[in-house]
Amino acid sequence: MPNRGCRESRPWTRGSGPEGRDRHRDGEEVKITNISTFVVDGGGRNIIFVKTETDEGVVGWGESFSVGPDLAVAATIEYLKDWLVGEDPRNIERLWALMYQGLRFPPGSVGLASISGIEHTLWDISARALGVPVYKLLGGRVRDRVRVYQSCGGATPAEAVDHALALIGTYGYTALKMSPYPPDMNLRPWNQVLREGPRFLEAVRRAVGDGVDIGLDAHAKVFEPARALELAQAVAPFAPFFFEEPIRPENIREMALLRRRMPVPLATGEALYAKFEFNDLLQAQAADIIQPDVCVCGGLMEMRKVAAIAEGHDVMVAPHNPMGPVAGAVNVHFAAATTNFLVLEYKPHDTGRWRELVKEPWVPVDGYLDIPAGPGWGLEVNEAALDRYSYSPWRRGDPRRPDNSPAFI
């Protein structure tokens, strides 16, 4: 397998697609000519960039979630490419259906990460063709800037405090996120987790005061709802902003029961796919805040639909966003245009390898990102740099319990 397995593109030839593709073309000029994938080692984990080219010369960028295995996403995008070449990239809903319905089986993580990355490129092209920012195609701007939070942590409460204060000092954050667990939580007795975990939050809360919102991410590591409830109760005195993925994501009824019992707002959604799973979650009244990831939920249009369903259920949206710079840009446009947006997860790409991947990094000021005025995402990918750090195999880790059984990561 080559490093960037799907970088090489095959020239499109007329006749390779479905019959009748060119029907009803009146008034349309743009056609997709190629879709390519760049799997870039961002430093410990890959960033999957997707690039779509058109016969008009307009190019769009997107990003797929690195769900792992990342080369499977690249292969899927290569497969889907043949369905899209020759189509008008501005018919986004249509092309989404062409991919989603064409795959027939619900796509899952690899399929939806692939669809999402391609879908982003279509928005970028549509907006660049008009010379407007993407949010202008979403009903316009509902806010002037986008509130972001970054995660902080450390091996001890003191280290976590140092990290929190450094982040606030540099970026002016008014919101942070941390883990509710002490290190090596899987190896500790549960009562010790309940005792030691909240000390991290307590220390940061004391250091930053009430003026900073602090979310907690339990990361779906707890299997038993009753244990999750105990942990939520233990951290509640330090007023967390939200408590994220308190239990595994699959059982929505248990999530709903937990929401009814938990003393802090319940946030979840990064592991849910497409409108249907979010709809089930919302109808079950199982979340206060949903956290779709625009790189794996199905894309920007899908996340807009999810947000509409959430709006109808009085639920806010705080997008999950641990991925690269294009993912951040897509999320900023979503946030700019969506009424029930709450706060965006963000990691500034102003240092290290990430800095090289874009021409101008987006850096929060006073804890907010500006909304870009340029066409498309308003973000310029530094394509020349994508060759520097090619695909590297990665794995999320392999936590074990004291009996050597696999724990959740």
Partner 1 sequence: MGGDNKTVKITDILTFHCSDGTRNTIFVQVHTDEGLVGVGEPYTIGPDEGILALLESIKPWFVGQDPSRIEWLLRRARNSMRFPQGPVGWSALSGIDHALWDIAGKAAGLPVYMLLGGRFRDRVRVYHGVQGRSPEELAENGLALIEEGYTALKTSPYGPEWRSLLWNEVLREAARRLEALRTAVGEDIDVGVDVHATLMEPVRAEQLTAALAPYRPMFVEEPVRPEHFPSFARLRERLQVPLATGENLYGLAQFVTLIDAQGVDIIQPDLCSCGGILEAKKIAAVAEANYVTVAPHNPLGLLSTAVSVHLAASIPNFVILEYHGDHARTKARFVDDPWKPVDGYMPLPTKPGLGMELDLDTIAESPPIAWDRGFPQYPDGSAGFI
CB of 123 to partner 1, least distance (A): 9
Q: What is the spatial distance between Cα 359 and Cα 357, in angstroms, rounded to a whole number?
A: 7
Q: Quick one: which of 59, 75, 130, 256 contacts partner 1 (CB under 8 A)?
A: 130
CB of 6 to partner 1, least distance (A): 25
Amino acid at 177: K
Say if residues 173 and 167 touch (Cβ distance below 8 Å): yes
Say if residues 247 and 223 touch (Cβ distance below 8 Å): yes
Per CB under 8 A, which region of 137-145, 151-159, 176-184, 398-406 contacts partner 1? 137-145
CB of 95 to partner 1, least distance (A): 8
Q: By C-beta, is 122 or 201 nearer to partner 1? A: 122
27 binding partner 1? (CB under 8 A): yes
Closest to 386 measured CA to CA, from 39, 70, 9: 39
172 binding partner 1? (CB under 8 A): no
Q: Quick one: which of 9, 45, 109, 136 contacts partner 1 (CB under 8 A)?
A: 136
Q: Quick one: which of 40, 160, 262, 371 contacts partner 1 (CB under 8 A)?
A: 371
Say if residues 129 and 157 touch (Cβ distance below 8 Å): no
Q: What is the spatial distance between Cα 295 and Cα 380, in angstroms, rounded to a whole number?
A: 18
Q: Give the pair of three-digit tokens for residue 56.
A: 């008009």
Q: What is the spatial distance between Cα 215 and Cα 130, in angstroms, rounded to a whole number?
A: 38
CB of 276 to partner 1, least distance (A): 6
Catalytic residue status for 349: no
Residue 227 makes CB contacts below 8 A (sequence gap 6+) with: 190
Q: Quick one: which of 18, 312, 393, 402 contacts partner 1 (CB under 8 A)?
A: 312
Q: What is the spatial distance between Cα 37 and Cα 7, in angstroms, rounded to a whole number?
A: 5
Q: What is the spatial distance between Cα 75 and Cα 86, in angstroms, rounded to a whole number?
A: 20
CB of 362 to partner 1, least distance (A): 13
21 binding partner 1? (CB under 8 A): no
Q: Quick one: which of 236, 257, 308, 385 contacts partner 1 (CB under 8 A)?
A: 308
CB of 378 to partner 1, least distance (A): 8
185 binding partner 1? (CB under 8 A): no
Question: Among 24, 120, 313, 320, which one carries the catalytic annotation?
Answer: 320
Q: Are strands 289-290 and 32-41 parallel, antiparallel or unpaired?
A: unpaired
Q: Give the pair of three-digit tokens for residue 159.
A: 């280290």
**Residue span 327-366 as binding mask against partner 1, x where in contact by CB under 8 A, dash where not:** ---------xx-x---------------------------
Catalytic residue status for 219: yes
Q: By C-beta, is 312 or 402 nearer to partner 1? A: 312
| Beta strand spans in 152-279 (E) | 175-178, 213-217, 243-244, 266-268
CB of 90 to partner 1, least distance (A): 5
132 binding partner 1? (CB under 8 A): yes
3-class DSSP state of 406: strand
Q: What is the spatial distance between Cα 70 and Cα 64, in angstroms, rounded to a whole number?
A: 9
110 binding partner 1? (CB under 8 A): no
| Torsion-angle region of 128 (φ positive above 0: left; ψ -120 to 50: alpha; else: beta) | alpha
Per CB under 8 A, which region of 128-136, 167-175, 201-209, 242-250 contacts partner 1? 128-136
Q: Give the pair of three-digit tokens for residue 13.
A: 């030839």
Q: How far is CA 342 from the centre of its chain?
A: 15
Q: Quick one: which of 32, 74, 85, 92 contacts partner 1 (CB under 8 A)?
A: 92
Q: How far is CA 330 from the centre of its chain?
A: 9
Question: Among 219, 313, 333, 349, which one carries the catalytic annotation?
Answer: 219
Q: What is the spatial distance between Cα 318 and Cα 298, in angstroms, rounded to a whole number?
A: 16
Question: Roughly what angle, to the nearest 10 degrees, separates helices 274-283 and 252-261?
Answer: 40
State the greatest distance between any 2 C-alpha atoms of the chain, in Å, as a whole number. 68
Q: By C-beta, is 5 or 367 nearer to partner 1? A: 367
Q: By C-beta, is 122 or 178 nearer to partner 1? A: 122
Interface with partner 1 in residues 259-298 (CB under 8 A): 275-276, 278-279, 283
Question: Roughly what angle, to the nearest 10 degrees, separates helices 325-337 and 300-312?
Answer: 40
94 binding partner 1? (CB under 8 A): yes
88 binding partner 1? (CB under 8 A): yes
Q: Which residues are catalytic?
A: 219, 320
- Residue ranges binding partner 1 (CB under 8 A): 23-24, 26-27, 88, 90-95, 97, 126, 130-133, 136-145, 275-276, 278-279, 283, 301, 304-305, 308-309, 311-313, 336-337, 339, 370-374
